[in-house]
Amino acid sequence: MASLAGTTISISSRPWQSLQAAKEFSSVKSISFSSIRKSLPVIRLRPASSRLQICCAAKSETLEKVLKIVKKQLALPEGTAITAESKFSELGADSLDTVEIVMGLEEAFGISVEEESAQKIVTVKDAANLIEELVKSQSC
Amino acid sequence: MRRLLRGDMLPLLSNLVSRRLVISSLPSLPPAPLPSRREAHLWYVVPNELEDASLLQDYRELLSPCEKENILSIKGEALKKCAILSRVLVRTTLSRYTDCKVNPRLFKFRKNRFGKPEVERQIGALWVSSSLQFNISHTSSMIACGITVDVPIGIDIEEKQRKPVNNILSLAHRYFSPYEVQYLASFMDPETQQSEFLRLWTLKEAYVKALGRGFSGAPFRDFTIRFEKSTDSVVPEQPKSEEFRIMIDTAFDSENLTANWQFALVELGGSHLAAICMEKDENMSGTEQDFLKLKVWKTLPYVEDKCMSETDAVKNISGLS
């Protein structure tokens, strides 16, 4: 297990004492840290420009609307964890749910979704991204 | 497998095959005779009937590492249970049709280029002698697996009482063909309209799944399912008549949407609709082609199998011979 102690990195209980090449060291570092990295919370940097801020606000508003429609369609029990990363298949959506959700999204956002695009949607985030794209292109 | 390897020598392949590879405490499955060319077999399981947590754990052990990982990312115990049961149903059902020579755990699956799951016939040194075709469908209250030999099959099940969240005619306008919209609009009673919608839905789903080209490869509006009276006259006002057959019309210029498919629609367990679609046998002539033979079993794998054909649990709506 690798640990960070002040400015030094100590690797304990491993026979990596004689680290020769830098390449070896970096590969050891990635092996040691990858499991830790997974459990660290992801830090999202705040956008610098205001344009980015508006973009992100719009995206999160879209996401909120999508989540609302999905929750309504799937009648998820109270307390079910549903986020942008949730996969529709993991939420128990079957094919009829999926087409109903797509239709609900079309009506809510005034867009038209092609079957091919709909088929590519795996997560809630995918749906929100697709909607953003379609709203932008269909309003021009 | 590891437990069978002794320190001194590897067991012969014939020993591996004939010895039942029992890795958990599960008993053996009874084998099932293969369906004939015009036959489809349907096995279904009711998740609510599984209450034994240790059995669920045994079931989980039958899954591949990849399947186990997928289960972990599913939210909610009920959904997890259904996901496990779904994989167990496929694996155990396939095993039965190999005379139980292939342990359910051993099957490997791949997807065709459109994403339809298929079973690999080559499993290490074993070879599955028949070309088993399968298709799964599930609702929260029932999971079903259809099996044929050689010919593609698609199935879809839905709860009879399922009420779409959206307005039925809006859904039909958005997704169905004009003929089907007209057909549904002809029903004044909302419950009948809902029931007819579900019948059309399951049949269309079963067709798309049988074709194996995905939802976008066979858009619902590009083909029509209709019910034709067996005497060859179309009588749309009498949908409840059991003497009608299920027909499919596809656009003339469509090369991907073929029409040589036969359908059956049954009511299962009094609670579900099940639509089955399989390719027609070109060697048969005339109206004989239009009906398929269906055998149905209800199962809780390793606990109980019940043949349900010829019982009240399987009610033919249309298409069965």
Residues of A in CB contact (< 8 Å) with B are: 72-73, 77, 80-82, 86-87, 90-92, 94-96, 99-100, 103-104, 106, 114-116, 118-119
**B182, B226 Cβ separation under 8 angstroms:** no
Chain B neighbors of A80, CB-CB under 8 A: 75-76
- CB-CB contact of A106 with A79 (8 Å): no
As a whole number of angstroms, the distance between CA A56 and CA B162 comes to 38
Q: Between A72, A81, A92, which is nearest B140 by CB? A: A92
Q: Using CA atoms, how far apart are residues A94 and B313, in angstroms rounded to an integer?
A: 24
Q: Which residue has the tokens 């606000």?
A: A57
Catalytic residue, candidates A94, A107, A114, A133: A94
Question: pLDDT of A24-63, one tens digit each?
Answer: 434 434 344 444 445 555 565 555 566 666 667 767 889 9
Name the residue among A80, A106, A119 with its Cβ closest to that of B75.
A80
Whole-model pTM: value is 0.78
Kindly list the distances between the CA atom of residue B174 and the CA atoms of B30, B191, B282, B304, in Å, as whole numbers in the listed order. Answer: 46, 20, 34, 43
Domain boundaries, chain A: 2-50, 60-139
Task: Give A6 or A63, the one with higher predicted confidence.
Answer: A63
User: Would strands B109-111 and B126-127 be described as parallel, antiparallel, or unpaired?
Assistant: unpaired
Q: Hey, how many other C-beta atoms are within 10 angstroms of the C-beta on A44? A: 7
Least confident range of A54-58, A125-129, B163-167:
A54-58
Measure the CA–CA gap between B114 and B151, rounded to whole angstroms: 17
Mutate to test the interface with B, among A69, A86, A90 (most CBs of B within 10 A): A90
Cβ of A77 within 8 Å of Cβ of B73? The answer is no
Strand partners, B139: B142
Q: Which residues of A touch B67 (CB under 8 A)?
A: none
Tokens representing residue B148 in the block: 């044929």
Contact A114 B73 (CB under 8 A): no
**CATH of the structural domain A60-139, one choice from 3.10.20.340, 1.10.10.60, 1.10.1200.10, 1.20.1440.230:** 1.10.1200.10
Number of other residues whose CB lies within 10 A of the CB of residue B251: 11
**Cα angle: B269, vertex B271, B275; to 5 degrees:** 80
CB contact under 8 A, A80 and B74: no
- The verdict on whether A94 is a catalytic residue reads yes
Instruction: Return d(Cα A76, Cα B189) in angstroms, integer.
Output: 29
Provide the pLDDT for residue A25: 38
pLDDT in the model for residue B137: 95
Q: Does B71 touch chain A (CB under 8 A)?
A: no
In B, minimum Cα distance to A116 occurs at B216
Say how far apart CA B79 and CA A70 lie, in whole Å.
16
Which residues on chain A are in Cβ contact (under 8 Å) with B138?
A: 94
CA dihedral B193→B195→B196→B199, nearest 10 degrees, is 160
Asked if A99's CB is within 8 angstroms of B175's CB, the reply is yes
β pairing state of B109-111 and B142-149: unpaired
- What share of chain A in percent tops pLDDT 90? 26
A100 and B171 within 8 Å at the Cβ level: the answer is yes
Please answer yes or no on whether A115 and B216 come within 8 Å at the CB atom: yes
Dist. CA B275–CA B137, nearest whole Å: 10
Does B216 contact A94 at a Cβ distance shorter than 8 Å?
no
Question: Strand, helix or coil at B46?
Answer: coil
Residue B235 has pLDDT above 90, yes or no: no
Residue B112: its pLDDT value, please? Answer: 86
pLDDT of residue B82: 95
Lowest mean pLDDT among A13-27, A125-139, B208-222: A13-27
Residues whose CB is less than 8 angstroms from the CB of residue A45 and which lie 6 or more positions away in sequence, other chains included: none
**Nearest CA of chain A to the CA of B261: how many Å?**
21
Q: What is the CA radius of gyration of chain B?
A: 21
Confidence of residue A116 (pLDDT cuts 50, 70, 90): confident
Are B171 and A103 a contacting pair at CB < 8 A? yes
> In a 3-state reduction of DSSP, which class is residue B66?
helix
Distance separating the N- and C-terminal Cα atoms of chain B: 44
Q: Which residues in A lie closer than 8 A to residue B214 (C-beta atoms)?
A: 119
B73 closest CB neighbour out of A72, A73, A90: A90
- At B115-141, the pLDDT tens digits run 899 999 888 777 887 899 999 999 989
Å between A32 CA and nearest CA of chain B: 23
